[in-house]
Chain A
């Protein structure tokens, strides 16, 4: 793992709550190798976006990194001075946000906003060169007629085109790591695949790694090399994509996979995981998932001991006391006596 581009170790992020700090990210570790695509999957509020804002050093004022370390290219960045972080942001690490409708400044031209990404890192860029580069960037993300489009405002762009513009902005300085936070969630289904193609394309062209945050397992299945599943601020399971789909070893992952719609109509109704994710300020003791878990019902270990991530296969780890059983290796236990 020494060759990781990004290495996050035991990251803890706390938010100020009315009754003291709330751990929204709780000892999360993950690595992203060079040119690797890591998918981070979880429900809203599982801490996935917050972990990545911590990587960018863009946590809101009410949050802070309470423990752990973040390394980029071998150097710690969680305690780096603001000037260094500014150089990294939009430079070697860039981020694409969920909602392209609100993530662009409504009163500035698209070309200005993309050009700004260049100018913030190379203030001396001459105007003519800047314009050329902006148009080339727009063309590279599949925006037709870039010279005209660059002079337009965000409200003149469709959702898909705006997200393309956001991607153009993110790759303006040839980043090594691209963080895409739910990049297609706000888009029409027909546009989602196009935007994912553009994202994959720019990663390859730039030899960049990518972290793809989503709640859509189907989306990461096609794109990611590895997947980390987050639940209630912790990583529940992490594995190479194939292994995760072939042998999900955490009941939560299993539940997520079961809730994917399939074409072969084995069941007419979509299955869902019963219950709600727990309140971060009042997590259940033991495994945070146990109140919703079919496997752990009534088992004392699940409600008393918090399971740590442990190896269950090659580069495959799960945080479940009964991971083998969840994976289907051990015979399912009889109904509670």
Chain B
């Protein structure tokens, strides 16, 4: 187990290193940051001076090695635009992203569980088809469009909820719901097929033969087995959400990591981009590791060595 963990941690570190390296060279293609920082009428001398002060005049490879040396110490450099260290700038946005991602994730998966348990318990074919229709529809609507509709209805027409920014619970409702509907659709379909598949297994018949009722057998026997295929997908998906729901964060002006990275890309703010990518890939690999460990808890047949 310890060896397994050690191996996974090394893999995780390599993954993060690979992602950050790839992005370091990719942003280099986006153009000259100095040109965006100075007004268009700036002289070539001004540009050269700025490049020098930002360290951009060094050869690419030298800059890369210097970046790596600083990054392992947690220093991603200062934001070109805001002149403050880049990593704290990203970390400061992280709570907003976690808040939105977790609430959308829990809301979506919770609704999906409630709905699919209701379908199994009532055995209503009509309810099942109805819900799947809703799921397909939600999945087919682009997130930004659905977000705008929500704003139009609940903020503009009804005036019930704020349309942008982060604040109290009322600010969270619209963006979280907008993201959650997509999650709901995904998990509803996954759970539906997982339940159907497990329901016909022999151990279910055994549970009935012992005298279990329908709800009991569903919750005690079918559910834990149906969870197994869901956990993997949910882990990857939560990682994606925590990486910043860029579209939703933009539509609702949610001050999360995703929106920060998008802004930084358009401003060619290299340190912030790299710090952001570092944080997101770290979150992603950690969640994946946790999911694999959780899997071993849920399924006794899985043992890591």
- Chain A interface (Cβ < 8 Å from any Cβ of B): 56, 58, 82, 86-91, 94-95, 97, 99, 102-109, 116-117, 120-121, 153, 155, 166, 169
Interface of B is mostly: helix
Q: Is the CB of B208 within 8 A of A107?
A: no
Contact among A103, A108, A109 for B202, CB-based, below 8 A: A103
Known contacts A106-B300, A107-B224, A107-B298; decide if A169 and B202 are in contact (CB<8 Å): no
* Stretch in contact with the other chain, from B69-77, B175-183, B209-217: B209-217
Q: How many A-B residue pairs have CB under 8 A?
A: 73
Interface size class of chain B, counting residues whose CB lies under 8 Å from the partner chain: 20 to 34
A-contacting residues, B171-229, CB 8 Å: 201-203, 205-213, 216, 220-221, 224-225, 228
In whole angstroms, how far apart are the Cα atoms of A99 and B298 in the complex? 23
Judged by a CB distance under 8 angstroms, whether B7 is at the interface is no
Q: Is the CB of B205 within 8 A of A153?
A: no
Q: Is the CB of A86 within 8 A of B213?
A: yes
Q: List 5 A-B contacts (CB under 8 A).
A: A89-B208, A103-B202, A105-B206, A105-B207, A120-B210
Contact among A82, A94, A99, A121 for B209, CB-based, below 8 A: A94
Q: Is the CB of B210 within 8 A of A117?
A: yes
Judged by a CB distance under 8 angstroms, whether B299 is at the interface is yes
A-contacting residues, B91-135, CB 8 Å: none
Q: Is the CB of B221 within 8 A of A105?
A: yes
In whole angstroms, how far apart are the Cα atoms of A104 and B202 in the complex? 8
Q: Is the CB of A97 within 8 A of B213?
A: no
* Sample of 11 more A-B contacts, CB < 8 Å, known A88-B211, A120-B211: A58-B205, A90-B211, A94-B210, A97-B206, A105-B221, A105-B225, A106-B299, A106-B300, A120-B210, A120-B216, A155-B301
- Chain A residue at minimum C-beta to C-beta distance from B224: A107
Q: Is the CB of B203 within 8 A of A58?
A: no
Q: Which residues of B contact A86 (CB under 8 A)?
A: 211-213
Contact among B209, B221, B298, B299 for A89, CB-based, below 8 A: B209
In whole angstroms, how far apart are the Cα atoms of A218 and B79 in the complex? 84
Q: Which residues of A contact B298 (CB under 8 A)?
A: 107
Chain B nearest CB from A69 CB (Å) reads 21
Q: Which residues of A contact B208 (CB under 8 A)?
A: 58, 89
- Chain B residue at minimum C-beta to C-beta distance from A117: B210
Chain B nearest CB from A280 CB (Å) reads 21
Q: Which residues of B contact A97 (CB under 8 A)?
A: 202, 205-206, 209
Contact among B209, B224, B225, B299 for A58, CB-based, below 8 A: B209
- Chain B residue at minimum C-beta to C-beta distance from A57: B208
Chain A nearest CB from B29 CB (Å) reads 49
In whole angstroms, how far apart are the Cα atoms of A307 and B282 in the complex? 76
- Chain B residue at minimum C-beta to C-beta distance from A85: B211
In whole angstroms, how far apart are the Cα atoms of A89 and B206 in the complex? 10
Chain B nearest CB from A112 CB (Å) reads 10
- Chain A residue at minimum C-beta to C-beta distance from B212: A120
